[in-house]
Structure formats: C-alpha cells, structure tokens
Amino acid sequence: MSSWFEERRADKAADAVQRREDREFESKLRRDERRKDRDEKRTDDAQRRRDRAARRQARAARREKTLTPGNVYRKGTLGLVALSALASLPAQILHFVAIHWSLSPIGPALEGAAWVMAAGVAYADERKLPVWVRWLLRILSLSAAGFAANINYQYGLSLVHHGLDLADAKTAGLGLAAVTLGGPLFFEVRQWVLTLSASVVDPKKRAEAKARDKHERRRRRVFKDVVARQEQLLLAAPFGTLKAEEAFARAWWDVKGAPLGVTADVIADRLDAEADVSAVLAYADQTPEKLAVEYLLADIFKGEGGASGTLSGKPSGGPRDGASEARTALGGKGKGPDSSTADTERLKPLAEADLEAVRKLASALGGTGRLSARNVREAIGCRNEYALRLRDAVRSEKKD
C-alpha cells in the first residue's frame, strides 16, 4: 500500500516538474516573441528613419540642382519671356480689333513671327548652321518685334481717349513697346549665353582640339608632298574606308620610301654613326697589354726588320719562323686590328684617286651629307680609319 502512495507522490512531483518546465518554456517563448517584436519594430523604425533621410537628401539634391545659377537663369529668362508676351499680345489684339474685328489675327501673327524667328536662331546654333543664317533670323525676329512694339506704343498713346492724361499714356506706350521688344531680346541674350557656356563646358577637350589643329597645320606646312599624297589616297579610296592617319603613313612610305618618320637622310646619318662607333670600338680594343706584346715581339725580331722595329721581310728557317708566325697570329687574332697596320693607315696620306672616287660617290648619293664611313670603305676597299679621313676631307672641301 505504501508503494502505491509513493508512486502517486512521485507522479505528482513529476507532473509538478513538467508543469513548471512548461510554464518556463511558455514564458521563454513569450519573452522571445516580445524581443523579436521589439527588434522588428526597432529595425522598421531605423528603416523609416533612413528612408526619411534619403528623401530629404533627394529633395535637397533636387533643390540644389534646380536652384543652380544656370537653371535659375534659363528658367527665369523663359518666365520673363512669357510675361512679356502676355503683356504685349492683348494690346495688339485690341488695337487691330478696334480697326476691324477681322484684323484680330494680325497681333498674334506678329508676336508669333518674332518668337518663331528667335527659336530659329536657337535651332541654327544647335545645328551649327552658317553665321549668315543666324543673323538673317535675328534680323527677321527683331523686325517683327520692332513693328509690334511700334503698334503697342501707338496703342498706349491712344489711351488718352479713354481718360488717361498724356504723361500716363506715354508711359503705358513705352512700357508696352519695351515688353514687346524685351521678350525676343531676352531670349536672344539667353541663347548667346548658352552657346558661349557650351563652348567652355570642357576646357580639356577644347585644349585638345586646339592642339590637334595646330599639329595638323604644322604637318601640312612641313610635309607638303606627303600631305598631297595623303589627299590622293583619301580621294582614291571609297569614302570612310581609309582613315586619315593610315593614309598619312602610307603616303609617307610612298614619298619617303621608308617607315613613318624615317627619311634617307636619317638612314644615312644612322649608318654613318654606326660606322663611326664601330671604328672607335675597333681601335679602343687595343689594350696596353696587347700593345706591350706587339712591341716586345717587334723588339725581339728587329734585326730582321731594320731600325724601325717592324719586320721588312719574312725570316727564313729556324725558330724565327715560328716566332714570326706567332707574331702574325697575335696581330691577326682578336677584335682589334694589328697596331702596325693601324699606324700605317693612320699615317698613310690620302691618295688623290681615292679622294676623287669619294667625290663621285657623294655626287651619286646626292651630297656629302650622305657619305658614311661604311659606303666609303666599300667603295675604296680600305680600313675604317682611312675611310673616315677620306669622308671628312671631302666634307671639308664642300664646306670650304
């Protein structure tokens, strides 16, 4: 019996624990839901604040863009133009209606002519039409506006018959004439300002266009023959198929016979400079050690060559033959020339026949400026040092 009561108490305790756990779980769920609702509300409030800030910023940007000096000037000018038209048109209509009712369209026709011609000036500026077209439209617009202004002035003076004194009638006439002329004039000044401001919108592009025009003028002045050939190529090719720069490069090759920027003088000077550098490097290769060996061998075998220290003939037999061959081999190997041969070339007088041959070569090439050590060496069959002396001698004759 006691066991049943114990089980009963255990069941009640377990139920109590379960109910407590259920209450705690439900309480946690409610807290989580309230926390989630607060987080969502906080997120929604933050989003609404961001949206309001974005709308305020957008309105401020629109106001800033709308209230810029350029927009105020453009829209303000159009407002003045509209007010001037509203002020001047009724007086013209009443003036012609007073004459006869059938003349009522004349007033709107005059005002419309002035405004249509003024709009034509703006259209001509947009399409970059010739200047004379713009000035013709301006003259027509101002003529129509001037005729309408005269009519309005006469109408203002006629108000004397409607109870106004003469001074007030003159003031009314002048005011009507001013607004009649002021509308087209304001519109014309507006168009001038817009045209001038459009030309200075991008100073970099304008500077680039100016530099490009200057480059084109200098090219035409310096390379007239190449530009003439370029124009021939552009005219010969179908329209738009050949670019101007490509045509200029092809024209350069046709006229100068070389890639763009290269001429015969440039090639001759380059070859001349390369030959000079080669000659200098060839003689610069004679190091002191090589010269010491040459002088030592010459001193050893000076008996065979006389007092000068150079070999006058080939020694015969014995070890001298081997020494002579060694000397010859040392003089012939390597990048540098033999010192005795170089000294001979350096001291050799210029032969008149060689000079005459170089003169003929210069004449065939088109001037001494095209002479180079290389072509002189090939024509005469000599060493670089002697070719350089021949070239310089012929060039100095031309300068003298």
Confidence band of 311 (pLDDT split at 50, 70, 90): very low
% of the chain surpassing 90 pLDDT: 8
Longest CA–CA separation in the chain, Å: 154
State the pLDDT at residue 292.
62
pLDDT digits (tens, 9 = 90+) for 66-118: 666 666 667 777 777 777 777 788 887 888 888 888 888 887 888 888 888 88
Rounded distance, CA 323 to CA 307, Å?
A: 19
Distances (CA, A) of 223 to 258, 306, 366, 370: 14, 64, 20, 21
Tokens of 271: 């070859």
Confidence band of 249 (pLDDT split at 50, 70, 90): very high
The answer to whether residue 342 scores a pLDDT higher than 70 is no
The answer to whether residue 335 scores a pLDDT higher than 60 is no
Q: Among residues 77, 32, 103, 272, which one has the least CA distance to residue 190?
A: 77
Rg (CA), the chain: 52
Tokens of 129: 């039409």
Q: Among residues 141, 140, 175, which one has the least CA distance to residue 155?
A: 175
Rounded distance, CA 390 to CA 379, Å?
A: 11
Q: Among residues 198, 90, 236, 92, which one has the least CA distance to residue 150?
A: 92
CA angle 306–301–303, rounded 5-degree value: 35
pLDDT digits (tens, 9 = 90+) for 354-375: 888 888 888 877 777 778 877 7
The answer to whether residue 333 scores a pLDDT higher than 60 is no
Task: Please state the pTM of the whole predicted model.
Answer: 0.39
Coil, strand, or helix at residue 264? helix
What is the arithmetic mean of pLDDT over 375-381?
A: 79
The answer to whether residue 240 scores a pLDDT higher than 70 is yes
State the pLDDT at residue 185.
82
State the pLDDT at residue 143.
87
Quote the mean pLDDT of the chain. 76
State the pLDDT at residue 337.
44
Element (H, E) at 317: none
Burial letters 122-139, b for 16+ CB under 10 A, else e: bebbeeeeeeeebeebbe
In this structure, what are the phi and psi dihedrals at residue 235, rounded to the nearest 5 degrees?
Answer: -70, -35
Distances (CA, A) of 112 to 89, 100, 135, 213, 333: 10, 20, 18, 42, 101
Rounded distance, CA 240 to CA 9, Å?
A: 106
Rounded distance, CA 368 to CA 362, Å?
A: 5
pLDDT digits (tens, 9 = 90+) for 12-69: 788 888 888 888 888 888 888 888 888 888 888 888 888 888 888 887 777 766 666 6
Higher pLDDT, residue 331 or 139? 139
| Helix 288-300 / helix 318-332 crossing angle, nearest 10 deg | 160
Any idea which residue has 């060996």 for tokens? 293
Rounded distance, CA 73 to CA 171, Å?
A: 28
Amino acid identity, position 373: A
Asked if 230 and 256 touch (Cβ cutoff 8 Å), the reply is: no
Any idea which residue has 């081999």 for tokens? 329
pLDDT digits (tens, 9 = 90+) for 250-298: 999 999 888 888 888 888 888 888 877 777 666 666 655 565 666 666 6
